[in-house]
Structure formats: C-alpha cells, structure tokens
Amino acid sequence: MSNYSARDITMTAVFAALAVVAAMLVRYGGNIVPFSLLPFVVMLAGGLLGARLGSLSIIVYILLGLVGIPVFATPPFGGPAYVLKPTFGFLLGLVVSAYVIGALLKNREESGFARYFLSMVAGIVVYYLIGLPYIYVILNLYLGQAVSVIKVLYIGFIPFIALDLVKAAAAAAMARALYRRLNGIIGQGKC
C-alpha cells in the first residue's frame, strides 16, 4: 500500500507543475546558467510540503524533463541527454535542497522568520555545493573546456547569490505565512 494520501499526491503534483512554470517563466542570465524562479519554488516546496514530499515534487519535475517533456529552462528543454548539460547538477541539488529545507523545518509550529530564512539559506548552500562542481566536471571533462574554479564561480555563483538570498527571504516569509494559515484551516476541519 502507498504511504501517500490523496492530499500528498495532489500537493506533490502542484509543486511539480509550479516547478515547470517557474523554470519557463523568467529566464535570463549567462550563456551557461540562466536565472530562474525554480529555486524559489523549491524553497516553498521544502518549507510547505516537508522533506519527503518537497523533494519528491522536484524529482517528478526532473523525471518529466528526462522523459522528453520540454520543461527545463535551457535548450534542449528536455530528454535524457540533459544530464550532460552543465546546469543539470543544479537540478540534482534542488532535490537535496528541498529535502534539507523540509528536514530543518520539521518542527515548525512555533518557528519564526529567522528559522525559516536560515533553512532556506541552507538549501541554497546545498544546491550550490552540488551544482557548481557539476558545472566544473561537465565543462572540463565532457565539453573539453579549460575552466578554472574561479571561472565556475563567475558562471554559476556570483551573478546569482544575491538574488537567491532575496528569493530565500521571500520564500521564508511566504512559507511561514502559508503554513500557519493552512495549518489553521486543516486544524479547524475546514479542509
């Protein structure tokens, strides 16, 4: 039997769909790593759904792309060959990020903004720790470009970290408010 309720399945699907929209909605940036709202959705997924469902929603999003549905932010937008794109490591990092955020917010009933924000920042650290080495490996070993660690930081970290911290603050405020609101509605039997 499945350990997932209808609500769990629905919320996982909703956040997978939000991930698709976020990846396609706003795209700008360098030639290799685009700016996207996907990390914001991941932070919300971890903050609202918890570790297990938050990470599962991002896994569903990635699987949709790997089977060929054009849901990713950069060309070819989908298919199994996407694992050889330098940015695929960030997608893997986002799965772990959602899990970490959800795990850090496991007992969130009385959590303040600071705890939510620090959990989101921990999630950011996680996806950079996975995504940046992946960029380095793909560019140097697969694509044969001689790229230094400093160059990787200029490609995938420096242009984005300030905006990611803004996304973390917004996601922390939104996740905290939504969790309190939804918990109140569910607790009162209105859902």
Q: What is the CATH number of the domain that holds 114?
A: 1.10.1760.20
User: Would you say residue 22 lies in a domain?
Assistant: yes
In 24-159, beta strands by DSSP E: 28-29, 34-35
What was the pLDDT predicted at 111?
A: 77
Mean pLDDT within 55-71: 96
| Lookup result for tokens 């996680």 | 126
Confidence tier at 188 by pLDDT (50, 70, 90): very low
pLDDT digits (tens, 9 = 90+) for 21-40: 998 886 555 567 777 899 99
For residues 84 and 91, what is the distance between their CA atoms, to the nearest angstrom?
A: 12
Ranking 22-31, 72-81, 119-128, 179-188 by mean pLDDT, the lowest is: 179-188
Mean pLDDT for the chain overall:
89
What was the pLDDT predicted at 77?
A: 86
> Which range marks the domain in which residue 170 is found?
6-187
User: Would you say residue 157 lies in a domain?
Assistant: yes
For residues 47 and 12, what is the distance between their CA atoms, to the nearest angstrom?
A: 13
User: Would you say residue 1 lies in a domain?
Assistant: no
Please tell me the pTM assigned to this model.
Answer: 0.89
Domains: count for the chain: 1
**CB neighbour list of residue 52: distance below 8 Å, 6 or more residues apart:** 99, 102
**Does pLDDT of 157 surpass 70?**
yes
Mean pLDDT within 143-168: 93
